[in-house]
Amino acid sequence: MAVYSITNQKGGVGKSTTCASLGTALTEKGKKVLLVDLDPQAGLTTVLGFNPDSFETTIYNALLYPEKQIIKEIIKKTKVDNLYFTPSNLDLSGAEGELLGEIGWDRNLKEALSPILNDFDFVLIDCPPSLGVLTTNALMAAERVIIPVQTEYLSFRSLKQLNSIISKVKAKGNPALKEKVLRTMHNTRTIHSRETSEELEKLFKGKIYKTLVKRTIKFADSALAGEPILVFARKSDGALAYRELAEEIIHEQKTNH
Ligand SMILES: Nc1ncnc2c1ncn2[C@@H]1O[C@H](COP(=O)(O)OP(=O)(O)O)[C@@H](O)[C@H]1O
Ligand SMILES: [Mg+2]
């Protein structure tokens, strides 16, 4: 079992898309995967083709009362074999304030997930576009962080902020946490993209996945259809990229790099 947090406080960089697509690619390689929607905006739940408002009990309840093991009741099947998810909706926006007053507020998600970890090969957590209580919980629960970065609109300030939160989490209780950047929405026609790749290399020093996800309209089309791109357009460049990423992920698990 391996827990990954898909994190970037910028919105629209491809977090939810990566979660659904990578999850599907891992199932194609024989893995059993759980996707955790940790965003009150419920991008992942929506991308998977579900209506967030249709769920009475969500990750919000599991997160607030980890000792009740609610996680077991909220795991749902997706349209893809061996791909499961836990839904989210706007209820989760209340969690920030409610958790902050509690002792050990940053470990609730880790505790909430613990009863089901042995049931899955991979757990991928889709973070909200902020660096608050929810994202900190995801980073505490994870062994690795995937940081999707849009190469066209690189924001160094926000990447440095994210790096500093990751360092704090390492210092305060999750020292083994490893981070790597995934370049998304890459536009091969601009020179700018090449420059940002070089800048990223400086900031993350080799901690960058080889896979490069290009910009393509197929992702928006597949989201509208409520199907991961690997199902919606199985042979598209986007689907191939996430299969390549799944291979990198399986390899890094084997070699521990
Ligand atoms: N590689 C890509 N090329 C083009 N559009 C993409 C790509 N990845 C994601 N998208 C689209 O960009 C939008 C934002 O992606 P999303 O995964 O929801 O980002 P986030 O979860 O970081 O907010 C969505 O409409 C999605 O379909
Ligand atoms: Mg999202």
pLDDT band at residue 155 using 50, 70 and 90 as cut-offs: confident
Residue 257 CA to ligand 2 centre (angstroms): 27
Looking at all shown ligands, the one closest to residue 241's CA atom is: 1
| Predicted TM-score (pTM) above 0.95 | yes
Provide the residue type at 79 as one letter. K
Q: Which of these, 165, 192, 158, 197, lies nearest to 179 by C-alpha position? A: 165
Write the CATH number for 146: 3.40.50.300
Burial of 115 (0-12, 13-18, 19+ CB in 10 A): middle
- Report if residue 84 sits inside a domain: yes
pLDDT by residue (tens digit) across 97-123?
Answer: 999 888 999 999 999 999 999 999 999
Say if 253 falls within a structural domain.
no
Domain extent, residue 228, equals 2-248
| Residue 146 domain-assigned (yes or no) | yes
Domain annotation covers residue 254? no
Number of domains in the chain: 1
Q: Is residue 90 part of a domain?
A: yes
Is residue 14 within 6 Å of ligand 1 at its C-beta?
yes
Ligand located closest to 9 CA = 1
Mutate to test the pocket of ligand 1, among 13, 155, 181, 219 (most ligand atoms within 8 A of CB): 219
For 15-44, how does the pLDDT look when each residue is reduced to its tens digit (9 = 90+)?
Answer: 999 999 999 999 999 999 999 999 999 999
Which residue's CA is minimally distant from atom 26 of ligand 1?
220
Residue 56 included in any domain? yes
What is the chain's mean pLDDT, rounded?
94
Q: Is residue 58 part of a domain?
A: yes
Q: Select the more confidently predicted residue: 60 or 154.
A: 60
Specify the DSSP class assigned to residue 140: H
Whole-angstrom Cα distance, residue 24 to residue 26? Answer: 5
Dist. CA 30 → ligand 2 center (Å): 26
- 89 in Cβ contact with 62 (< 8 Å): no
pLDDT at 182 over 90: yes
